[in-house]
Chain A
């Protein structure tokens, strides 16, 4: 090995060790665990652990609650991701246009939900969403809409979670998109204006193409994150009402840490991994340059 090679590996070694110990090893153990029936009895006495092959996976596919959880999660991702990105993009465009006078203030204010604790914010949101005393229902009542039992009605619980999660998370993507917007060369807008492009045309033909790589990256990160929906239903609804807010990860948590079926829960984790991997891989295709360069 060359001298620089040795130096390189030495410098990388601490990071590699951390990755091996805290990422690779747990993944391998998790995979092994998913092929066993590790449960409460095995926790008490390891000799009762049995190798079950793919039984956990087969059983999982026959569990109605898993499909319901997957459905709930897809609902959350399908509605939540576009909504969240649209909101981020909208906020970033407004901030970038400099329409608002207090740009720095708004940037911080819109980013604030991202860095606050979800548990603390959930308490506030539970007040906002309260059926009788909540600000949201009172506002709706002012325009003549009957109160909605946001967290108690199975039809409204997921929309409520989506609104909460979107509000909590859009600031993060907003900051990334804002940075990308600021990196678009001014000359492009100038020549577009010279060519007679209006505001809308400038957006569709200059801003949007220049943002595409960032948007794809943001979309992939958001999709991967939203598939791992957990803390919001955990704090707000505990998966209820009628299991309408049980996500795949919440289902895994219940199986693993409530009932201590760690083998089964590991299988859930791997299935979720495969789903996220497939969806992310699908999204990467959008990143191809349209002209094939």
Chain B
């Protein structure tokens, strides 16, 4: 179907739409639905929205006066829904927010700063992994402020076939890029059917993690690209070198029918992936393979390296009239005990160190690689345009890997693209500086 049919098939449809619109306006005049009976509106995404309903009875027992209404958004549509809700003035009271979306919503000035509420509560900031908490801190005209509390974390580590790597003579996980390269070469040499690593060409995260290890990707106050600078070129050089040596297959996710089958079959030894795959590997790998896989923190250029700081945060919208109640719910969801329950239900990793003391996490070897990695995570650049730059970075990398372009050409072109994209930011920055300068 096309938009035409979605909108107005016939004139009668148009009139019916008009009547419905008038009815909506009339309803709007009565006050917003959520304000009427003190219901707290909470938007959550995907599986988390289903699971949070199971956590709520405990909250209701403690706060019988607060009724929570959870609205489930699909991840694929959540971003558009939030922006449209902002434009239409119909944001909920609180929301689960992917932490890369925070810069966008703070640029819109849609989020409530949480500093005072956190300081007045029992929540200790240093209990959170620093790199993860930092993704919620945004620069404002009044200094840095905290706009969200991490709910669960996501980062990238190495998943690997311990049996294949051991057989190739590398029993301990690699600590640095050279060690990792040596292990991949040894695996490839031992068996020509096995690649060193699977880096799906349409996934930006692995390259982004490597790039974070090298340095800044943007310069001049995040208003210009720094992809042609040595830092990113080293990361891209290492990444593309893996493909050039034949250590990784030039495949996208779409070309690998089933990652777990291929991993079990030994198509590749290493795989850079996130926490959800702990559960998937346990479920999808055959029983006899369960002893043959492990996880390890990402190696860096010359020692343990940093990785990405992803995950979801809980935020309160400025437009909410029930901020105190919303904060109660965030406090409840941020308690270590609730986070442990949440982990048991979803497999999502908690952002607080105390929550990691539960035996399910502390005694779980695959999770422990994540615990080690979480001490070394770095926030992505905090600007609304980052998501686009992130995707474009991978397209540039794909061109290098496919040998359509050299690293020089691809990074220069990427910088030009980024500079054009960020023109408005430069203009805004110049305007702010001019306004602040003494006359």
A residues with a Cβ closer than 8 A to B are 15, 18, 22, 37, 39-41, 43-44, 48, 50, 118, 131-132, 149, 152-153, 168, 224-226, 228-232, 238, 240-242, 249, 257-260
Contact = CB atoms under 8 A, between A and B. Distances in A.
A229 B18 contact: no
20 contacts: A15-B11, A40-B108, A41-B107, A41-B428, A43-B86, A43-B87, A43-B108, A48-B424, A48-B428, A225-B2, A225-B4, A226-B2, A228-B3, A230-B3, A231-B2, A231-B5, A232-B1, A249-B3, A257-B84, A259-B388
B437 interface: no
Contacts of A131: 257
A245 to B, nearest CB: 12
Interface string B73-104: 00010011001101100000000000000001
A174 B3 CA distance: 21
B17 to A, nearest CB: 8
A42 B97 CA distance: 22
Given A44-B109, A48-B428, A257 B83 contact: yes
B384 interface: yes
B2 A152 contact: no
A111 to B, nearest CB: 14
Chain B interface residue bracket vs A: 20 to 34
Contacts of A43: 83, 86-87, 108
B255 interface: yes
Given A257-B83, A260-B83, A231 B3 contact: yes
Given A41-B428, A228-B2, A18 B83 contact: no
Given A18-B15, A44-B107, A238-B76, A249 B1 contact: no
Contacts of B108: 40, 43-44
B107 A258 contact: no
Contact of A231 (B1, B18, B424): B1
A243 to B, nearest CB: 9
Contacts, number: 67
B144 interface: no
Contacts of A149: 254
B426 to A, nearest CB: 12
A257 B80 contact: yes
B388 A230 contact: no
Nearest to A154: B254
A207 B212 CA distance: 69
B140 to A, nearest CB: 13
A37 B18 contact: no
Given A37-B424, A132-B257, A228-B4, A241 B76 contact: no
B14 A22 contact: yes
A21 B1 CA distance: 25
A243 B107 CA distance: 29
Given A149-B254, A241-B254, A258 B79 contact: yes
A37 B427 CA distance: 12
Contacts of B11: 15
A55 to B, nearest CB: 10
Task: Please name the 8 residue pairs, one residue from A and one from B, whose CB atoms are nearest each other, closest first.
Answer: A152-B254, A228-B2, A118-B1, A231-B1, A44-B108, A241-B254, A257-B80, A230-B3
Contacts of A226: 2
Contacts of B84: 257
